[in-house]
Amino acid sequence: MTDKGRLNYFIDCGLIITFVLAFITGVIKIPELTWLFRDVFLIVPMSTLSKIHDISGIVMGLLVLAHLILHWNWIVAMTKSTFGKKI
């Protein structure tokens, strides 16, 4: 695996982890569903869940930005080949 491939792999792993954290904590924080997760709040306070949600969302955003930067040439090439053709 090349260095760029290894970097992509770790960025993608980070994206998966941060997505799962943000998604699960986001679902738990939905006001209409908090009664389903009342036992969770006995173990992990809502303030901690909110911090996990916020931090994982920020880290996920940074990883998405890094992913887009690393794939920028491919994005440009695909955009040109898709929209650059004359009909």
Residue 87 has pLDDT above 60, yes or no: no
- Name the CA radius of gyration of the chain, rounded: 19
pLDDT band at 41 (very low <50, low <70, confident <90, very high): confident
> In this structure, what are the phi and psi dihedrals at residue 45, rounded to the nearest 5 degrees?
-65, 155
Residues 20-24: what's their mean pLDDT? 97
Please state, in angstroms and rounded to a whole number, the distance separating the CA atoms of residues 26 and 12: 20
Identify whether the C-beta of residue 28 lies closer than 8 Å to the C-beta of residue 49: yes
Residue 85's pLDDT is 66
- For residue range 67-83, list pLDDT tens digits in order: 999 999 999 999 999 99
Residues 36-44: what's their mean pLDDT? 86
85 or 72, higher pLDDT: 72
